[in-house]
Structures are given as C-alpha cells and as structure tokens.
Structure 1
Amino acid sequence: MKQKIIGGVCMLVLLLAACGSPIETNMSRDVNSLEAVNQEGEKVTLPKDYDGTYWIADFIFTSCETVCPPMTGNMARLQQELKEEGMEVPLVSISVDPETDTPQKMKSFAEPYQPDFSQWNFLTGYSFQEVKEFSIKSFQSPLKQLENSNQVAHGTSFYLVTPEGEVIKSYNGTEAGSLDQIIEDLQTLKQNQ
C-alpha cells in the first residue's frame, strides 16, 4: 500500500512538472531553424543563437504602410521598459519582405526608433518562401504577398520564446497595453528559473 501511495505521489509530481508553466500560455510551437543576417550584415541563426535565454520576436517589413511602424514603436517602448526593469531580453524583428529589405534598409528603418542594436536584431537575408514557411510552422502566422502591391499581409503579434526555443505565448503587437503583460510574464518566468 505504501509503495502505491509513493508511486502515485511521484506520478502526480511528474505530471505537474511537465504541464506547469508559471504564466498563462496560449501557444506551444518549436521554433524551426532560420539562417539570417542582422542590420550589420552579421550572421544570425534562429533559434540557436538565442539558446539559453528568453526572447521576443515579431514580423515586420520596411515598406509597410500600416501596422509595422506602430509595432516597431511598441517594440522600442518594450526595449526601454526592459532596460528600466534591468532585464536583458533579446528582441528580434524578422523581415517578411527579404528581397527588398537589405541589412542597410533594415538599419535605416530601425534608427528613428533608437534601438539598442546590442539587444535588438532586425533580420533579413533569406528568401520569401523560407520566411513564409518559418512564420507558419514556428509561429502559426501566415504570410501573403498582396497582388499588384509591394505590401505583405502578416501577423501583428509579439511572440515570447523560451530558452529551449519554444514559442509559448503571443501578444497583440499593435497595442501598447500588451507591453505590461510581457514584462510581467518575463519577470514571473525569470523568478521561477
């Protein structure tokens, strides 16, 4: 009888450990590999180069006429708030128009937002097909080149990725109110590491 109780307790502990996240999550996807270059032309491999740390990702492009400027503004505010909280969390903005977005264009697009490039990478250097598959498979976020246009339809979320390369939560990247939730979730996760 005693062995059954101990066995039952062990199983319960294993189950709780396996499914328990200290924050409320809304995703569970492994980030596939993507070879890219950043705004300086330096090679970056996702998710490998961010192994061992939490990071935040979004999808943008430099000629975007709608959601990308406010999303990038929110990411800039997030970077500032992370610094104020003393948190070193990498930020990654991934171009969905890599044929147009050279590293130089990505850097020029970013500069008005005053990013700290040591913490925030703007990635390009792959094909549209590669980033389309990456976005769908890793982030459940479809991309579509709009006909007779230089615009690309893409998701507007910010994504929280774990040190193991798993996307566990998406947030509305166009709403400044999401930033407080991201900070709160990161603080909770870091306290529970």
Structure 2
Amino acid sequence: MKMKLKGLVLLIVVASFLSACSNYDFKPTTEYEIEDFKAVDHRGDTVSLESLKGKPWLAMFIFTNCTTVCQPMTFNMTEIQQRLVDRGVEDYNIVAFSVDPATDTPEVLSKYFSHFTVPDESKWHLVTGYDQKFIEQFALNSFKALVKMPQEGDQVMHGVTFYLVDENGISVKNYSGYDEDPKGVQFDTIAIDMETLIEERLGK
C-alpha cells in the first residue's frame, strides 16, 4: 500500500512539473530598441540589424585581448548553445560585438573563436568593422551598457551581461554572462527563454 501511495505521489509531482514547463510564460523585463548597425563578422560576412530580423538573438560584448572575463563569457555562451541544441532549438543567432574594433579584425576574431568548442558555429557572428566611438555609443543607446576605451592600457571597460533580443530587434531580457560561481549563470533559464520566445512569438 505504501509503495502504491509513493508511486501515486511521484506521478503527481512529475505531472505537475511537466504542466508547469508547458505553461511557462515568457515575460519581457526590458524594452530596448536596438539601433541600426552594419558590421562584418569573423567569416567576413556583412551583419546588420536588418539581416538579423526574423529570428531572436543573444548578444554580448567582448574583445580578443581581454585578460579577464571575455573568454569565460564566450565559453558560457557555448554552454547556453549546447542547451539550445539539446532542446532542438534552431531559429536563432548569437552576436558578439567587439569593443576593440581597431584590434579585432575578422581574422583576429576567427582565430580567437577557434579556441572554443562550439556546438553550431553557423549561428555565431563575432562582429567588428566599426570605430570605437560607434560601439561605445551603440552599446549605450541600444543596451544601456557602458563600453569605454581607457586613456591608458588596452583593457576596454564593458559589462558582462547577455542580452536576449527578439525577432523585431527589441532587447527583451538580460542575464549575467559571467560569475565566479558557475551556478550564477542561468544556462537553462536562458535556453528556455529563447525556446519559449520562438514558440510564442513565431508560433514554432
């Protein structure tokens, strides 16, 4: 009798969990309109706001000479993509804006990216091709993010946030992209938000 009762309780718990997952309601927490931009990615292809429209995308700010957070952030983004692959999510892009465009040519970005194990490289765009003034103003206007080249040294100041941008070019949510405690990065939450956004907004 006790075994049957335990089994019934387990079934109820599992059913409740599945129901909660299927009824997950994505709620935007920001509404930042991304400014128009034109850049070139690590493959040498042109990337613009217009070319990204129609699919949601994850954005971040990095640079290849970074000695602190950029490599962990890039690794964390590959971990998020693995979650997306595991969930069968396909209609998205990942855009990494270089905050040191004078140094980060497409070739330099490609070499940097080659050091990472990436589940699906075709979704990624590590972009450059603009000047320093542009990226600093673009980050501020589009993502309310600080990007600043220091007067001395080459370590550009920038945030460690990941941004979820919808299919219309509106940044609808942001997350920590770096934490000394790996549990501080919400890998599964970001993947679920992306999947839910695609299903709710695009009906897929």
**Which TM-score band applies after superposition, normalised by the shorter structure?**
0.7 to 0.9
Count how many residue pairs are aligned between Structure 1 and Structure 2.
Answer: 171
Deviation by residue 1:122-178 (Cα, 9 ceiling, x = unmatched): 001100111111100000001111231111000111100011110011100014532
2:143 corresponds to 1:146? no
Equivalent residue, structure 1, for 2:50: 48
Deviation by residue 1:80-103 (Cα, 9 ceiling, x = unmatched): 211111112211111000000010
Equivalent residue, structure 2, for 1:172: 176
2:61 corresponds to 1:59? yes
Q: TM-score, normalised by structure 2?
A: 0.80
Q: Distance in 1 between matches of 2:127 and 2:55?
A: 18
2:64 corresponds to 1:80? no
Q: Distance in 2 between matches of 1:36 and 1:190?
A: 25
Which one-letter code corresponds to 1:172 in the other structure?
S
Q: Distance in 2 between matches of 1:185 and 1:41?
A: 30
Q: Secondary structure at the match of 2:114?
A: helix
Residue from 24, 30, 45 that aligns with 2:27: 24
Which one-letter code corresponds to 2:161 in the other structure?
S
Q: What are the within-5 Å matches in structure 2 for residues 100-119 of structure 1?
A: 100-115=103-118, 116-119=120-123
Task: Tell whether the 8 Å contact from 2:81 to 2:191 is kept in structure 1 after alignment.
Answer: no
**What fraction of aligned residue pairs are identical, expressed as a percent?**
36
Q: Distance in 2 between matches of 1:190 and 1:29?
A: 18
Change (3 A) 1:149 1:181: same
Q: Distance in 2 between matches of 1:121 and 1:56?
A: 10
Shift in Å at residue 23 of structure 1? 2.0
Equivalent residue, structure 2, for 1:182: 190
Task: Tell whether the 8 Å contact from 2:53 to 2:167 is kept in structure 1 after alignment.
Answer: yes
Q: Secondary structure at the match of 2:95?
A: strand
Q: TM-score, normalised by structure 1?
A: 0.84
Shift in Å at residue 112 of structure 1? 1.2
Runs of 4+, deviation exceeding 4 Å: none
Q: Distance in 2 between matches of 1:145 and 1:105?
A: 19
Which one-letter code corresponds to 1:192 in the other structure?
E
Equivalent residue, structure 1, for 2:135: 131
Q: What runs of 5+ residues in structure 1 fail to find an aligned partner? A: 1-21
